[in-house]
Amino acid sequence: MATAVLAALTPATAFAAQEPLERFGRQQLRWERCAQDQPTSLECTTVRVPLDYGDPHGRSIGIAVSRVKAGSAAKRRGVLLMNPGGPGGPGLTMPAEMAPLLAAEVRERFDLIGFDPRGVGRSAPVHCGLAADEQVLDHPYSVETFGQDVARARSVADKCRDKAGDLLPHITTRNTARDMDVIRAALGERKISYLGHSYGTYLGAVYTQMFPRRTDRFVLDSALDPALVWRGVLRGATEAAELAFTRWTEWAAARDATYGLGATPQAVRAAFWDLVARADRTPIVLEGQSFDGDAIRAQYRAFVQVEAVTPLVVALKAAAAGAAAPASTAAPAAAEAPDMDNMVSVAWAVLCGEGRNWPRDPEQYRRDAIRDRAARPLAGDFGANVQPCAFWKSAPREAATVVDNDVDALIVQNEWDPQTPLAMAEGMRRALHGARMVTVAGGEGHGVLVTGRPSCADADVTRYLTTGRLPAKDRTCSRQVAAADLRP
């Protein structure tokens, strides 16, 4: 274990760190049932890791780790670590959640390993004490509210410095990748396989760059472009939203007889923007929720799912006209996160602490938000507006990882992903020269394998995890799944 982790340290610290890092790799683990409300098959333990890998003699923290054992001792290949995304997403329950979604052949061969990344959940959690409006990662720009946006961004940075300043410099993707390698060693494995979703694809790619000889079979579901870390990721999502919105106008126009939003894409677009302008003058109340124009635009990620978002637009139009709307057409409530303060605090620790190209001048954000909204009216300003990173107090301890290697990996991607759009996955594919990419044509939503919906990419994932064989070349498949497609 120590040799691999040492390779990811600077030469000046590597030799001095060797002995204590070997100690972390030799630790004995005690497994027990995770929780009474979890399946008995889900076991938990704690793996100790250095808070600062440059000072392994110093403070250590516990990383909460879980597993569901492989179904067959005879066929077992090793461990499949998992990350659900974020940054800031807890992953301790992921093995139990993913087990039913994976093919039986995969479950036979791998112990499914989950973990709460450092700073998250049960792994030395970080809390900045953020107010509700500070727990939202993007905000629309307007001349009237920009001063409030700047004050809120500064407040988040100040709170994180005051309440978690000693931990923040160590909450990085590179350190989480190092933690994964300690977990590998503590489990007694020479290599790890991996399934990462969203931010988890970047984490996995960073691991392949830092520990290429410890990398076995890596599946990256809904990938980020490593070159855009991190401001470019936020802005890139709004570029995809504009493309999805255009597609939606075409879809709705073809069904004007059903929805009455316009017979041409231009008419549908005009009807939508008329609705936004009307809500700016007088907020629209739907199912007890008030929508001004920005609140309507804030639904921008929903436009990739044309059948789901259209009834909402229709209901808003009816409510604006004073007509009653069916109860089922209101915007769905967001899933309740177990600890939003923790998740968002960790998100900013990673995004601000290791991100490139965060301007320090708030006026630069103002100019970018105005420019991006002009180019992408639906949501351009959401991704470009001022963020806490403008005022972040913790300087990066090391540069973000440049991903550029020939390690094998399989990238699976929906064509219409609202959060990590196709262009970002293509950027990941360019960075991982040994990878293959399967694009689900017409696929909607954020996640291919992790959503549990049958997909034409499922057989590629199963074949790769069970045999190590990647597709011969990148390919695009139809989202319509035939029974034969579900077999490797």
Enumerate the active-site residues.
198, 417, 446
Among 445, 349, 312, residue whose Cα is nearest residue 137: 349
Largest CA distance in the chain: 73
Place of tokens 């959690």: 125
Give how far Cα 302 sits from Cα of 246, 296, 430, 442, Å: 13, 11, 28, 15
Cα four-point dihedral sign 225, 229, 230, 235: negative
> Bridge partners of 411?
220, 437
The answer to whether 90 and 338 are in contact (CB under 8 A) is yes
The answer to whether 223 and 413 are in contact (CB under 8 A) is yes
Q: Measured between alpha carbons, how far is 68 from 94 in angstroms, rounded to an integer? A: 10
DSSP 277-327: HHHHHSPEEETTEEE-HHHHHTTGGGGGSHHHHHHHHHHHHHHHTT----G
Place of tokens 């069904």: 255
Among 81, 118, 86, 120, residue whose Cα is nearest residue 207: 81
Among 166, 171, 160, residue whose Cα is nearest residue 135: 160
Q: Measured between alpha carbons, how far is 288 from 325 in angstroms, rounded to an integer? A: 11
Question: What is the number of alpha carbons within 13 Å of residue 486 lying toward its C-beta?
Answer: 12
Contacts of 42 (CB under 8 A, 6+ apart): 33, 34, 66, 67, 68, 93, 95, 96
Cα four-point dihedral sign 192, 198, 201, 204: negative
Q: Measured between alpha carbons, how far is 405 from 211 in angstroms, rounded to an integer? A: 11
Tokens of 322: 């004073």
DSSP 354-394: H-B---S-HHHHHHHHHHHHHHSTTTHHHHHS--GGGG--P
